[in-house]
């Protein structure tokens, strides 16, 4: 996997915004098979910052209905990436 396969998209939520402001932490949706080392290297390469900690959590896809048809959304993985002190918080529009 290259770095753009590891990081799928940033997660823009209220909780993510609060973590960004108070804890210097970024939230991303990442590839389900990516490990913490790959996520660290991808964030450091794409955003040109130093990462101090990576936490991940797996989410099971929820049941979705569209009229009489049912199915499941895909399973996905979230990563919380904490930057080292003194690192500039990247803006997602700068990449």
Question: What average pLDDT does the segment 75-80 reach?
Answer: 97
Question: What average pLDDT does the segment 87-94 reach?
Answer: 77
Q: Which of 61, 64, 3, 60 is nearest to 28 (CA)?
A: 3
Output the pLDDT for position 4: 93
DSSP assignment string, 21-35: HHH-EEEEEE-TT--
Domains of the chain: 3-62+74-87 (3.30.70.330)
List C-alpha distances in Å: 21 to 8, 12, 78, 86.
22, 13, 18, 14
15-71 pLDDT, tens digit each: 999 999 999 999 999 999 999 999 999 999 999 999 999 999 999 999 999 999 999
Residue 8: which H helix or E strand, with range? strand 7-10
Output the pLDDT for position 40: 97
Output the pLDDT for position 54: 98
The two structure tokens encoding residue 30: 């990442």
């Amino acid at each position: 996997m290259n770095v753009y396969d590891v990081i799928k998209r940033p997660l823009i939520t209220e909780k993510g915004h609060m973590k960004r402001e108070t804890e210097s932490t970024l939230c991303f949706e990442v590839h389900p098979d990516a490990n913490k080392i790959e996520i660290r290297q991808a964030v450091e390469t794409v955003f040109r910052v130093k990462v101090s900690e990576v936490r991940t959590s797996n989410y099971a896809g929820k049941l979705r209905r569209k009229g009489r048809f049912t199915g499941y959304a895909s399973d996905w993985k979230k990563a919380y990436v904490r930057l080292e002190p003194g690192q500039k918080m990247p803006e997602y529009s700068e990449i």
